[in-house]
Structure 1
Amino acid sequence: MHELTVAAAGESGLLARIFPLLPQGRSTILGPGDDAALVAVPDGRAVISIDTQTQDQDFRLAWNSGYASTGRDVGWKCAAQNLSDINAMGAVPHTLFISLTLPPDTLVAWVEDFARGVRDAVHAFGADVAVAGGDLGRGREISVTATVLGDLGGRNPVLRSGAQPGDVVAVAGSPGRAAAGFALLESDVPHGSLGPAELALVGSQCRPVPPLAAGPAALDAGANAMMDLSDGLLKDAARLARASGCTLELDRDRLASFTRPLRAAADLLRKDEGGREQLVLEWAAAGGEDFALLSTFPGSTAVPDSFTVIGSVVPTAPGQDHDAVLRGGPGPTAWNATRGWDHFGAA
């Protein structure tokens, strides 16, 4: 049976198919169809973020393990990474704009599946978010760019620059799961042979679930600083440390709750016990794309239940750079912000 491509459907035909599949929300006054959208900004201030996913840089259609990313996977991840940025400011997301660049032989069914992925993610996260517009273009590879708007509800945003010595460092979410899933997808272990624990890790890479309720909860609890974890715990913690002019000391032993679920993947990929221990720590400390939430709270503050305390904020020693270091096990010079994801670094 002939499968319809985006070239055969044309721009208008493709839009007619995907608009009904995308989520609608209360903040949209005028949605897709005109030259621009009109959305309500209840707070009077708009929190705005933009992110791009590019084929073979941020996702693969075909993985070494035999898994094929679906349009739903890519649409879900588009929603997750963008809504996570708004969450990290303590705001509530309400509007998405999505631009799709597609090769002409892309199947319309893949694009429809992408739209369903965005919708399903928004619903799964419990968010009231509308796709109010965007753009379609032609290119050599699939690229997805989304802009998201959020509302602070009359409160002040939580910035990266507010951490203070004496704060505790805490994480909502489970760093390392997406990295373990990525390793399984890139491995020679056939996807069809994976068990439930390993498949759940693959799901964390393909369809991550950011803890959206944690951002407003952290703001209400008096968080001094906050950011989402997209490039790895150590690398992103170092960014927060530099912005705040301090040092974040992370406790390796307190990462145990994050490393424990990763052992199923490590058991498949590493034969020696020492190698497995190193691998799970690497995933938890340096793996990205979980879109967990990193926050610092005053030491006297009750940390919300959704957070796990993993360290503390200390003054930076004279002559040292503001940084994040992992204490315990390997020395702090071996475990620092040089690890983690960089779009322009080595693969």
Structure 2
Amino acid sequence: MPAWLVTMSDRYASRTGLSTLELMRLSALHHTTVGELGEAGILDLLSASYQGLTSGDGVIGPGDDAAVIPAPGGHFVIATDAMNEGHHFLRTWPSGITDNGYSTGWKLAAQNLSDMNAMGAVTSSVSVSLAMPTTTPAAWVFHFGRGIANACRWLGASQTVISGGDLTRAETIATAITATANLIGQPVLRKAAEDVAGFHLIHTGNAGMSHAGYVVASQGTHNQLRRDELQALRLFLRPRPPLDQGPKVAGVVSAMMDVSDSILTDADRLAAANNLHAHIDPAWVARTAAHLQPLADRYDADASQWVLTGGEDYGLLAILNPEHDLPAGWEIIGQLTSQPQERPATTGWDHF
């Protein structure tokens, strides 16, 4: 691997920034395509971007036919998520906001780490698949890899090993991660092991913020954004799943899942898994929407709809016995009931 690429990767991961020479070298990647690099060159580039997260005790990482990741407890959790250009992400948004690949990598990692979190597990590895046109800038690939690596570090999953993956050619960029995780105790499932009628529905996360950011990316003007718009935009492009919470409440809550498609959609899924319905407290919706409404007013929108039907926040929903104390950092947002609840025609994100 070229020495300058290793140095560039080290400096990029730090908060001190890049030197002028390193910036010049990174700039050169913008004029180089992955077709010009070839598979070996792309792998070198990704290895540099993943630096520091490809090895560990007992790990056989990238470079062999398959990776080996220890599972100390004898059981592990596994999940896969995919993101496709034009459907899940854009390189340039209608607002003029451009993603150099970093946010795509970050979000891909975040949504997989969130799935592990919802099971009460700690992520052990991610394996990355990347399909792209030969005209894709090499710099996009480097930033994409850094987004994955830095999401693992800064979201609190620095123990994660980037174990390898797959490269192939495609007409548009398509990527996927398969993640594994180690259980802290028993897995926390959507279906509870007890009758949970009347139990609290509790939540931790940033309900509505990601959808607010999506509206900004789609309808805003990139050089005229206010502070609250930038905050929402950051949480849309680079979600912050609360990774410390899943393992912390495992064994306390009766059931749990992450919020990927919306509060309404995912609360209904959690309730349905227990043959019940989800009542969402209107007072909680009003409180949560209140701080988003000034931003929503600029886009002629209703912030309460962002809270209820907006997806990709990657918070957590759980079922809590009313006799138990509410865990720190969580809110009671409703309860499970046997009574059907009124719902809008569209309750959240649907891939199809």
The answer (yes or no) to whether the contact 1:198–1:264 under 8 Å persists in 2 is: no
Q: Structure 1 length as normaliser, TM-score?
A: 0.88
Counterpart residue number, 2:175? 144
- Write the deviation string for residues 13-64 of structure 1: whole angstroms up to 9, x where unpaired: 1101211321235366100001101110111111001000000100111111
- Write the deviation string for residues 254-285 of structure 1: whole angstroms up to 9, x where unpaired: 12443233224212111xxxxx4xx2011100
1:130 and 2:161 aligned: yes
- Write the deviation string for residues 157-213 of structure 1: whole angstroms up to 9, x where unpaired: 1111117112111111011111010011111x3111001111010111100010001
Q: 1:84 aligns to what SS in structure 2? A: helix
The answer (yes or no) to whether the contact 2:125–2:161 under 8 Å persists in 1 is: yes
Alignment of 1:12-51 (within 5 A): 12-22=40-50, 23-24=53-54, 26=56, 29-51=59-81
1:341 and 2:349 aligned: yes
Counterpart residue number, 1:103? 133
Counterpart residue number, 2:332? 309
Counterpart residue number, 1:254? 284
Equivalent AA in structure 2 for residue 130 of structure 1 = V
Greater Cα shift, 71-80 or 240-249: 240-249
**Distance in 1 separating the partners of 2:125 and 2:294:** 38
Counterpart residue number, 2:204? 172
- Residue of 90, 100, 115 corresponding to 2:120: 90
Alignment of 1:1-347 (within 5 A): 3-22=31-50, 23-24=53-54, 26=56, 29-127=59-157, 128-153=159-184, 155-162=185-192, 164-187=196-219, 189-220=220-251, 222-270=252-300, 276=301, 279-314=302-337, 316-317=338-339, 325=341, 332-334=342-344, 338-344=346-352
Q: State the Cα RMSD in Å.
A: 1.6
**CA distance 1:236–1:333, shift in 2 (3 Å):** closer
Deviation at 1:124, TM superposition (A): 0.9
How many residues are treated as equivalent by the alignment? 319
Q: Structure 2 length as normaliser, TM-score?
A: 0.87
**Distance in 2 separating the partners of 1:343 and 1:93:** 25
The answer (yes or no) to whether the contact 2:208–2:310 under 8 Å persists in 1 is: yes
The answer (yes or no) to whether the contact 2:208–2:308 under 8 Å persists in 1 is: yes
Equivalent AA in structure 1 for residue 350 of structure 2 = D
**Distance in 2 separating the partners of 1:192 and 1:177:** 20
The answer (yes or no) to whether the contact 1:28–1:130 under 8 Å persists in 2 is: no
Greater Cα shift, 202-211 or 19-28: 19-28
Q: 1:341 aligns to what SS in structure 2? A: coil
Q: Aligned residues: percent identity?
A: 36
The answer (yes or no) to whether the contact 2:69–2:124 under 8 Å persists in 1 is: no
Deviation at 1:218, TM superposition (A): 1.6
**Distance in 2 separating the partners of 1:44 and 1:141:** 39
**CA distance 1:25–1:158, shift in 2 (3 Å):** farther
Q: 1:303 aligns to what SS in structure 2? A: coil
Structure 2 residues not aligned, in runs of 5+: 1-27
**CA distance 1:292–1:146, shift in 2 (3 Å):** same
**Distance in 2 separating the partners of 1:256 and 1:76:** 30
**Distance in 1 separating the partners of 2:336 and 2:351:** 28
The answer (yes or no) to whether the contact 1:47–1:149 under 8 Å persists in 2 is: yes
The answer (yes or no) to whether the contact 1:27–1:41 under 8 Å persists in 2 is: no
The answer (yes or no) to whether the contact 1:184–1:265 under 8 Å persists in 2 is: no
Runs of 4+ residues over 3 Å off in structure 1 = 24-28
The answer (yes or no) to whether the contact 1:218–1:295 under 8 Å persists in 2 is: no
Equivalent AA in structure 1 for residue 231 of structure 2 = A
Equivalent AA in structure 1 for residue 110 of structure 2 = A
**Distance in 1 separating the partners of 2:100 and 2:44:** 21
Structure 1 residues not aligned, in runs of 5+: 271-275, 326-331
The answer (yes or no) to whether the contact 1:30–1:38 under 8 Å persists in 2 is: yes
The answer (yes or no) to whether the contact 2:45–2:141 under 8 Å persists in 1 is: no
Equivalent AA in structure 2 for residue 259 of structure 1 = A
Equivalent AA in structure 2 for residue 170 of structure 1 = I
**Distance in 1 separating the partners of 2:198 and 2:293:** 33
Q: 2:119 aligns to what SS in structure 1? A: coil
